[in-house]
Amino acid sequence: MSDFLRIITHARRFKSALKDIGVEQLEEVKIKLQKIIDDRIAEEEAERIENAEKNEKIQKYKDLLAAEGIDPNDLLDEPAEKQMKRAPRQPKYEIWSEEGKHITWTGQGRMPNVFKARIEAGESLDTFTIDK
């Protein structure tokens, strides 16, 4: 399609491409091209009228909302309250590692290696429960 546009939009190339076509065929092309142009103009005019009607209706509704004291942005679907992150869970278990670090665990997710090692050594998980 780009070759077609390159030829048809350049006068000398267009004339050169049409040199082997007779006058009768050129008249037929002219009629068909004029029909396409007229149809395109009618489509664009109909679209312009439709957009003008739509814009007129939008302005009418904006005026109605303004008369009632409603901001058009209030009509947008926004959650009434923003969902807050839930508070972090309190740790259920605690332990002091051999390096002297205080390690806590909520009981959810992967068990820290320090707890794992002590449980595999025979201790019960209940021995690490935080007393409240």
> Mapping DSSP to helix (H, G, I), strand (E, B) and coil, where does residue 103 land?
strand
pTM over 0.85, yes/no = no
Q: pLDDT tens-digit profile of 59-88?
A: 999 999 889 888 888 777 766 566 778 888
Query: Is residue 132 within 8 Å of residue 93, measured between CB atoms?
Result: no
